Structure 1
Amino acid sequence: MHLRSIRLFNFRNHSDSSFEFSERVNCIVGENGSGKTNLLDAVYFLSLTKSSIQKQDALSISYDEELMVISGDFLEKNQPENITVSLQRGQKKNVLADKKAYDRLSDHIGKYPVVLIAPDDTDMIRDASDTRRKLFDGIISQFDPDYLLHYQHYNRLLDQRNSLLKQFYEREYFDQKMLDSYSEPLVRLAMEIAGKRKDFMMGFMPLVQSHYETISGGKETAQIIYDTEVNQNFQEVFRKNQKRDIAANRTTKGVHKDDYIFELDGQPIKKFGSQGQRKSFVLAVKLAQFDLLEKHKSKKPLLLLDDIFDKLDDQRIAKLIEKIDDETFGQVFITDARPERTKRILEKVKANVSYFEL
């Protein structure tokens, strides 16, 4: 599987740009602000129907324009397919496969799996729990469509229940049956989602540990602990917590409160990890993501490496280059502001390398 070409129309700072890619390694070089990261984001958008940068789709439309279009031609097992994503301000996003709309956008997620390694990845260690949940929910959704549907349904019910709790407070009344109509399905979905997250971590952790050991030279043992209050007794716990929810005007227990604790040798890396240990941990997580997606999808995900040569030291860069060279990865996209550095790093790579200067 690889992306043969892409065209960007009014996407961020690309008014009308077209690129034809190599099956293996593609290097996008240019000064900061030239649109390198935006090009990678367009590839990400084609795969997951959303930006890796912007939370709101409309922010990906070029300034003062009304319509943006991303069109990409994929090839898998000698079968070509065109994917087009278009968005007009104030309207619904459209995703087409060979000019045919999907019944549900979730049907596209995972069709062309992708892994992004970016400069701000260490934020997943420093930031609040929602950053880590977003990461792992995104990974699971690429190989488990049912998980994505359950998660979307859970969030809709959560918003509705929270709105109802606020309404009770503002209007000074309470309706138990109405609240139960949201609480009961919310609990069922929470238990379903938590179960899938636990199953996912059982397969994911050995991969993270293996990659971390390789990157760090076996100096420490990496661990990710899935921290949740959702268990077999959650229905009773949730019911007993109702008074607290009413007082807080929001739902205070559920999988939206889960976290993933990153540890090295039993100590939280957020508090005690060095900068190098954090970079190694994050890189191990992303490489494990690649392995897991390849296993479940039976194809190598697209690998997007955004400006990593500025952020990773020589040892970690060398590990990535080794994997590019031994064809661990499939199609790779690399951005760098320093063309001479990229060519020096990749000069020994046997694979065909294409360069694009913006």
Structure 2
Amino acid sequence: MLQLQQISLVQFRNYASQQFAFTEKVVGICGLNGSGKTNLLDAIYYLGFTKSYFTRSDSQNVHHGTEGMRLQGEFLLNDEPQQVVSILRENNRKEFSINGSEYKKFSEHIGRLPCVMIAPDDIALIIGGSEERRKFIDTILSQIDREYLQQLIDYTKILQQRNSLLKQANEQGNINEALLQILNEQLAHNGEWIYKQRSLFLGSFLQLTSEFYTRIAGKDDMVAISYESNLQNGAMLQLLQSSRQKDMVLQRTTIGVHKDDLIVKMGERPFKNEASQGQRKSLLFALKLAEWQTLKTQKGFSPILLLDDVFEKLDEERMHNLLGWVCTDNGGQVFITDTHKERLQGQLGAIGVAYQLIEL
């Protein structure tokens, strides 16, 4: 089992210096907007992923008017203590360590202390562009398979190099054919590997998502999710060669696994055009819970589940179905935020689970 027992935050977001101890598997966090509920969840996420869930730049997480920050978490993983420390120095040098041992590569930490976040802006996963859904898939697979993360990092670097070459060729009026061929071969090699892993993974994952959707919604809405990739139409090296002229004109690589997407339909119509707000939210939670269940199966223990302001997203019946599953049917630690103390107590009390309440 994975459990966070204590966390300290120094100069992180709105926290100048604060420490929290967690005594139950289910932790409710209540307070007004701006009190720091979401920031506390993000600090927990940060210790699992070496970065914020909400911001790309570490400097944006530093408490206003100060320089540098420090996060420390005391975890228990299968009865073994795990102390995680993240420090951002005044010169913006970042350090990340576990049990006193500093990582040379932050990517080595990914998947060690898995967690799943569900936050208000996640609805972009349903109604936003394909980048959101690719990032979602990659986040899961990177926690399961370290090689996948490295292949993804390598693919992204080669893609950037190829795009730079295409822009340079446009400016100079000619292209280095030998270099383009090398980049094509390298990109195809990594791309084929990533495509294969995504295909193998998504077969069972999307089926699990459909099952969760029906459980949360309480009915079958004929929702179907499928994986779409350029590589379903042929080998990537051949596709790169055939798209050469288009790539030259647009000065970027127009085919590859960086264009993959999940296609969601309700019946024969696009889901995001047909679905109600409740159905969209049910699908979001289904995807996230499928992520949670998949990580639990792969890791052999339950990830930490972070639920930010979820009561605003689902009606009472859907909320009861969700909380009943995550809080009573499974052994993982759950953190839930809400602006209304009474509502939080009522929902958790209704499912009969022991919980800790933190008021900010």
Q: Normalising by the residue count of structure 1, what TM-score does the alignment of the two structures yield?
A: 0.96
Q: 1:196 to 1:243 in 2, by over 3 A?
A: same
State how 1:1-358 maps to structure 2 within 5 Å: 1-88=2-89, 91-231=92-232, 232-358=234-360
Q: Distance in 1 between matches of 2:69 and 2:224?
A: 42
Q: Distance in 2 between matches of 1:324 and 1:230?
A: 36
What is the CA deviation profile of residues 195-225 of structure 1, one whole-angstrom value per residue up to 9, with x for unaligned ones?
A: 1111111120221111112122333233221
Conserved? CA contact 1:209–1:221, under 8 Å: no
What is the CA deviation profile of residues 288-323 of structure 1, one whole-angstrom value per residue up to 9, with x for unaligned ones?
A: 111101000001010101001122110111012212
Which AA in structure 1 matches 2:132? T
Which AA in structure 1 matches 2:342? E
What is the CA deviation profile of residues 153-202 of structure 1, one whole-angstrom value per residue up to 9, with x for unaligned ones?
A: 11111111111211222233321011222221111111111111111111
What is the CA deviation profile of residues 217-237 of structure 1, one whole-angstrom value per residue up to 9, with x for unaligned ones?
A: 333233221111014422112
Q: Classify the secondary structure of the residue corresponding to 1:83.
A: strand
Cα shift at 1:266: 3.6
Q: Normalising by the residue count of structure 2, what TM-score does the alignment of the two structures yield?
A: 0.95
Cα shift at 1:90: 5.1
Cα shift at 1:22: 2.3
Conserved? CA contact 1:28–1:355, under 8 Å: yes
Q: Distance in 2 between matches of 1:200 and 1:89?
A: 41
Q: Classify the secondary structure of the residue corresponding to 1:230.
A: helix
Conserved? CA contact 2:68–2:92, under 8 Å: no
Q: Classify the secondary structure of the residue corresponding to 1:347.
A: helix
Structure 2 alignment gaps of length 5 or more: none
Conserved? CA contact 1:227–1:258, under 8 Å: yes
Which AA in structure 1 matches 2:210? Q
Q: 1:182 to 1:64 in 2, by over 3 A?
A: farther
Q: Distance in 2 between matches of 1:267 and 1:94?
A: 48
Q: Distance in 2 between matches of 1:90 and 1:181?
A: 38
Cα shift at 1:325: 4.4
What is the CA deviation profile of residues 248-270 of structure 1, one whole-angstrom value per residue up to 9, with x for unaligned ones?
A: 11111111111111122343211
What is the CA deviation profile of residues 29-60 of structure 1, one whole-angstrom value per residue up to 9, with x for unaligned ones?
A: 11100110000001011111111111222211
Which AA in structure 2 matches 1:353? Y
Conserved? CA contact 2:206–2:225, under 8 Å: yes
Aligned length: 358
Which AA in structure 2 matches 1:131? E
Q: 1:156 to 1:90 in 2, by over 3 A?
A: farther
Cα shift at 1:111: 0.8
Q: Classify the secondary structure of the residue corresponding to 2:231.
A: coil
Q: Distance in 1 between matches of 2:137 and 2:78?
A: 29
- What RMSD, in angstroms, separates the aligned Cα atoms of the two structures? 1.5
Cα shift at 1:329: 4.5
What is the CA deviation profile of residues 263-290 of structure 1, one whole-angstrom value per residue up to 9, with x for unaligned ones?
A: 2234321111111111111111111111
Which AA in structure 2 matches 1:287? L
Q: Distance in 1 between matches of 2:167 and 2:236?
A: 23
Aligned-pair identity in percent equals 38
Structure 1 alignment gaps of length 5 or more: none
Conserved? CA contact 1:12–1:61, under 8 Å: yes
Conserved? CA contact 1:29–1:336, under 8 Å: yes
